[in-house]
Structure 1
Amino acid sequence: MPERSAAKRTASKATQLADIARRTGYSLATVSKVLNGRSDVSPATRKVIDAAIKESGYVKRVSTTKNRRLLEVVFQNFDNIWSLEVLRGLVTEASAHEMSVITTESGDRSHPDSKWIDGVLRRQPLGVVLIFSNLTDSEKARLQACRIDYVTLDPSGDPSPDNLSVQADNWTGGVIATRHLLSLGHTRIGIITGPNSMMCSKARLDGYKAALEEHDIPFDPRLVREGDFSTAEGYRQALAMLKRPDTRPTAIFAGNDLQAMGVYEAARTLDLKIPEHLSVVGFDDVQTAAYMGPALTTVRQPLQDMAAAAVRMVVDKSRGRTIQNRMIFPTNLIIRDSTRPLEVTEPH
């Protein structure tokens, strides 16, 4: 009797998929590819078949046990202390839920390589944490078809209200970093941002502008340099900003601590002492910031707490709990030794 029931269900499933194929004009194989989240289907075809599947009421059976204790994390690069801070928070929280973490390095800062999702669908994790990335509609559809939830940590763009995301209050971070330098008497303050395409970069720059406006200091675009959040780019942009004594700023707000490290090296190259000749503020408060020479004044975003929150969002969503789709963590200023009041008489 059970065998007959199973046979009936199999036949019913095949009939339903065949009906969808006839209705859309696509082959049964193409319908099956869409249903299973395969990548070798055009977005237009996927859209038509997805609509027909929803209209038919067909529901794909998804395993509720396979790899339910696996969390996948997609980094665009994994070559710096920032990534290690995030990973530490992810692993610690995942362990508390008796979950394992698998990491994937793929693509660039705005979007992972197209192959990453094929691996995710093969592994069928409980959920995915994406660092920086925003997904295409096709990628979202493929994850949703397999009921794999995802959270974007520090999204590069403005996430949809329907998507799960965790980020820091970058605008306030930009404000408090700049206010600190202004309170020390600096009015010619340079800034090295992250990529202009990234939301966190724009927010920090907007905070910088807002703090200048509070003090009636005109915004000078010549003091703004676009970086890429790397130490090498921080060095290059700081060197360009500091090489002329008559136009150099007296302080620099680096878009992250890695770029601040580059600013330190540029200052050494030009025989400028920090903070005697140049005050520097970073952003992130990675573990090494307190051990730089001098110790770096920086804006702390709670990276490990943010990572832990991303894991909890995946777990809570899988258990049907009500969750907040968008979490924004506060930032605060950590004052150390890389900033000081501006000398009335400049040493140059």
Structure 2
Amino acid sequence: MQRRRPTIIDVARKAGVSKSTAGRALSGASNVTDEARERVLEAARAVGYERNDLAVGMRSGRTGLLGLVIPDITNPFWAEVARGAQDRAAENGASLLVFSSDWDHGREASHLRALRQARVDGAIINPVADSFDDLDRFGLPFVLIGSSAERFPANSSVGSDIAQAVRLGMDHLVSKGHHAPALILGPKSRIARARFLRTFHEHCVERDIDPAALPMEDGEYTVEGGRTAMMRLLQRDRVGHLAVFAANDLMALGAMVAVREAGLRCPEDVSILGFDGIPAGAFSWPGLTTVAKPGREIGVRAVDCLFDEIAGRPEHGRVFMPCRLIERGSLADVSLDQPRRAASSGRG
């Protein structure tokens, strides 16, 4: 037979106090003696009582629940964002409900409805669609994350500084002698692709390089997407060493697979630079040099901003988080070869 769930009446009876005194003690109210509070807490432990947070939330207007809607929980970068958000929420006594939209607008809308029904205090959302209708109807405090948030400048948002990150990667490629790398980009429908490509174009124009002349391939932000894009790059005519800047680390790791399958070596024949900083890059062979986005820090900062929104202290505007370079072994240094090559071509 299923055991009845203990109630606050059971706690009060066990502690020898009134129900109201037990309630005040368990809620942390100050108008309870230390001795009574200790008896109530001990009684709660003894009978196995757990406070009904939903019922408390209905009375107070707060549930202590936050929502997080990310595009792909299987991508380690987004898992890091979720971990940072969860840790910060827990530090503030809140719980986090995590949903993955899988880059699907319908699924995202369904998740937003579920969060409203769960009476969350607010949510952190990476919007996957250009339409703002679903967020207008959300009716609760929210903070946006990811590159997609740039479409909505009037709302608080937190994300990586993509322009700084792309420039950081390009400057590192140039320092290694790779002045005209090929690109592996995400789908044309994603705003992250446009932001990446815009900064890349600016970098090339500053160095008198025609970006239209550089090879580019699109693919999904997955290992297989990077693999197939890299295979297409390898089928193109080329001279000398090939350097590739991939739009995320999963794609970069897939590109490494394609290089091996083609009988080539990384970095001896092909250099590869990733973008995200996921842990798997440290365990590939060679290790993946990458521009690391601050996934966990984004999650932490987004929760801080959300608490401000909930408290009526909004941080309107976009918070840009700086990225950093992690150098491993996937980029060859060909800078010393270039003077010899130039001299050799000059002798005709």
TM-score normalised by structure 2 residue count = 0.74
What is the deviation of 1:77? Answer: 2.7
Moved more, 286-295 or 274-283: 286-295
Map 1:82-231; keep pairs closer than 5 Å: 82-106=77-101, 108=103, 112-134=107-129, 136-144=131-139, 148-156=140-148, 158-221=150-213, 223-231=215-223
Q: Which residue is 1:55 aligned to?
A: none
Q: Could you tell me how far apart the structure 2 residues matched to 1:158 and 1:325 are?
A: 10
SS in 2 for 1:77: coil
Q: Could you tell me how far apart the structure 2 residues matched to 1:125 and 1:77 are?
A: 21
1:334 aligns with 2:329: no
Identity of aligned residues (%): 26
Q: Could you tell me how far apart the structure 1 residues matched to 2:199 and 2:241 are?
A: 18
Q: Which residue is 2:21 aligned to?
A: none
For residues 237-259 of structure 1, what are the alpha-carbon distances to aligned partners after superposition, in whole Å with 9 as ceiling and x for unaligned? 01100134536861000001111
For residues 75-118 of structure 1, what are the alpha-carbon distances to aligned partners after superposition, in whole Å with 9 as ceiling and x for unaligned? 33322212211111111111111111111233526674432232
Q: Which residue is 1:264 aligned to?
A: 256
Is the CA contact (8 Å cut-off) linking 1:157 and 1:199 kept in structure 2? no
Change (3 A) 1:137 1:274: closer
Q: Could you tell me how far apart the structure 1 residues matched to 2:307 and 2:214 are?
A: 47
Is the CA contact (8 Å cut-off) linking 1:195 and 1:226 kept in structure 2? yes
| Structure whose alpha-carbon radius of gyration is higher | 2
Q: Could you tell me how far apart the structure 1 residues matched to 2:201 and 2:81 are?
A: 28
For residues 29-56 of structure 1, what are the alpha-carbon distances to aligned partners after superposition, in whole Å with 9 as ceiling and x for unaligned? xxxxxxxxxxxxxxxxxxxxxxxxxxxx
Structure 2 portions without partners, runs of 5+:
1-56, 342-348
Change (3 A) 1:110 1:282: farther
Q: Could you tell me how far apart the structure 2 residues matched to 1:188 and 1:272 are?
A: 20
Q: Which residue is 2:36 aligned to?
A: none
Q: Which residue is 1:282 aligned to?
A: 274
For residues 176-235 of structure 1, what are the alpha-carbon distances to aligned partners after superposition, in whole Å with 9 as ceiling and x for unaligned? 212221222223411111222322221221222222223222213551112221111100
SS in 2 for 1:220: helix
Is the CA contact (8 Å cut-off) linking 1:175 and 1:210 kept in structure 2? no
Q: Which residue is 1:80 aligned to?
A: 75
Q: Could you tell me how far apart the structure 1 residues matched to 2:149 and 2:112 are?
A: 20
Q: Could you tell me how far apart the structure 1 residues matched to 2:236 and 2:151 are?
A: 41
Q: CA RMSD in A?
A: 2.4
Change (3 A) 1:174 1:118: same
SS in 2 for 1:272: coil
Q: Which residue is 1:238 aligned to?
A: 230
SS in 1 for 2:63: coil
Q: How many residue pairs end up in the alignment?
A: 282
Q: Which residue is 1:51 aligned to?
A: none
Change (3 A) 1:110 1:334: farther
Is the CA contact (8 Å cut-off) linking 2:292 and 2:326 kept in structure 1? yes
Structure 1 portions without partners, runs of 5+:
1-61
Is the CA contact (8 Å cut-off) linking 2:162 and 2:196 kept in structure 1? yes
SS in 1 for 2:320: strand
SS in 2 for 1:274: coil
Change (3 A) 1:71 1:269: same
SS in 2 for 1:74: strand
Q: Which residue is 1:311 aligned to?
A: 303
Is the CA contact (8 Å cut-off) linking 2:217 and 2:232 kept in structure 1? no
What is the deviation of 1:123? Answer: 0.5
For residues 136-159 of structure 1, what are the alpha-carbon distances to aligned partners after superposition, in whole Å with 9 as ceiling and x for unaligned? 443233222xxx111111042633
For residues 293-314 of structure 1, what are the alpha-carbon distances to aligned partners after superposition, in whole Å with 9 as ceiling and x for unaligned? 1111111111110111111111
SS in 1 for 2:193: helix
